[in-house]
Structure 1
């Protein structure tokens, strides 16, 4: 068995990753780091489905509500912070759990970030101007033409992601996706990736139920408090941006809720597309008994 093992739990939103991570943390007597890029922010509780107080008490967590929405926190900064934490955790635990549905953040820890060429700043400035004058859809359509792979895989509703992909396409004349996964970064730990999934209709049903529960738990009140900060990047997030439209009188509440459900379903589809790229992932139905998952992980550990 290698000295250090990172068990990375991935899958679409609402599938049960948090619950599984806590069960595995108990079994392996270890701690959990989150790779969910929105659960980092302490002002965003309900809409990010962050672990509850009871769940946080059930196992030691890292990277939950450790930043403010006012702070800029990049995937590169997370990669460095996560590797620093892992270095310390591996001194106490031979196995550590990582859980999260933000594919880029998961890959940053397990594989390292890709290297991109430097792009003339004027290209990004021009794209930001287009965003303001012509809207996100205009940029999305450009990306669809220049790089269909990225259009299908990135968080297409996030203008920062779209602009980043477009500036690479325009600045190099090559698709953004062609620069991905070229660098093989060595890590001093072995990663075992466990994926949870279900039939698409089941995933969609669970998403719809979660959105209803979020609304019952007070999501609208949470969003009201954040309305003055709605232009911050952290709040360009499903569940928040739709309710901002309601609060500003653009949509009815029922329509905003239906849009949250629709956009969450689309996000889940993109998550699965991203995570399915890794052929080494151990995939399980979300109802698979815990002992079967532990057996598969243990076999991977013993044959590593």
Structure 2
């Protein structure tokens, strides 16, 4: 598949990745793979900004609300399923679009995953119990001690990522970071990384506006319906975690919403830090004309 191209659209949350992905899919007559790990879950729609029915109808999407919050699902599962799907899509298309803000999931498809040793499941059980009893700060402190290098890179507000790193540190007796960036199996397709960016103030304004729209669209009702399952890994995420605090009576609604906005802005900053590491990414402004973007893509894939 040497002449096959995966166009990976990246950028911070609320920047307009879905809209651009649809326009490009329509232009190239192809389909879209979602690499947004929050949008995999059937029960989570408003708080994860799942594409609307109109958007889903405008271009065929894959990996949107395809599993349940109760299903075990890892980045390794996604890599395996996405690569299998790409083989099928590339049999009928020279170009496939991938879009999402989950850097780890994007890298899993474009570069492959690092390989880790088998770990005793009891270690994860103990770490989950520590999270439940003491809270996320205990996990953050432990990872900072055991692997300060990875601590500087990881989303320290994501307990799933913290537990994954810690179980490797503890079970293997070596830092999680020591297993990263090993040589991986080469991909049979080429990847063009297309990033969308804007001034930070614009990004933050768009995030704040999106949160307000989510609340109007029924975010509180969605989160309330999921409150019985708030301990699940899938729900340890921005937009849900904060409102669980509200429903528990710990926070006022106004404060919970302000925390969603703040944590979303922090998430966008971490996304950009991750994505900027790829020096080959072609960056475009969020308002750039689609014709100019297509021209840049064509120049790259035909050069």
Question: TM range, normalised to the smaller chain?
Answer: over 0.9
Shift of residue 64 of structure 1?
0.7
Q: Deviations over 1:3-37 (max 9, x none)?
A: 21100011110111001100110111111010111
Look up the match of 2:263: 263
Q: Deviations over 1:129-182 (max 9, x none)?
A: 432332211211222333344223223222121011123233445432232222
Residue 77 of structure 1: how far off its partner (Å): 0.8
Aligned to 2:113: 113
User: Is contact 2:139-2:163 (8 Å) kept?
Assistant: yes
TM-score (normalizing by structure 1):
0.94
1:159 — aligned with what?
Answer: 159
Which whole-Å deviations, capped at 9, do the CAs of 1:176-217 have from their partners, x for residues lacking one?
A: 223222223211111111011122222111111110110011
Secondary structure in 1 aligned to 2:278? coil
The yes-or-no answer on 1:198 pairing with 2:175 is no
Residues 161-240 of structure 1: pairs in structure 2 closer than 5 A: 161-240=161-240
Instruction: Give the CA RMSD over aligned residues.
Output: 1.7
Residue 10 of structure 1 pairs with residue 10 of structure 2: yes
Name 1:27's counterpart in structure 2: 27
1:258 Cα deviation from its structure 2 partner? 0.6
Aligned partners of 1:13 and 1:266: how far apart in 2?
A: 10
Q: Deviations over 1:101-139 (max 9, x none)?
A: 111111111111101233455543443343233221121
| Structure 2 residue aligned with 1:90 | 90
Paired position in structure 2 for 1:128? 128
Q: Structure 1 unaligned runs (5+)?
A: none
Rounded to whole Å, the distance in 1 between the matches of 2:139 and 2:296 is 43
Between the aligned partners of 2:41 and 2:121, the Cα distance in structure 1 is: 29
So what's the TM-score if we normalise by structure 2?
Answer: 0.94
Q: Is the 8 A contact 1:9 1:17 kept in 2?
A: yes
Q: CA deviation at 1:257?
A: 0.2
- Gaps of at least 5 residues in structure 2 are none
Q: Deviations over 1:26-78 (max 9, x none)?
A: 11111101011111111111100110001001101111111111111111111
User: 1:31-110 maps to which residues of 2 (within 5 A)?
Assistant: 31-110=31-110
Alpha-carbon distance in 1 for matches of 2:122, 2:164: 13
Inter-partner Cα distance in structure 2 for 1:297 and 1:184: 26
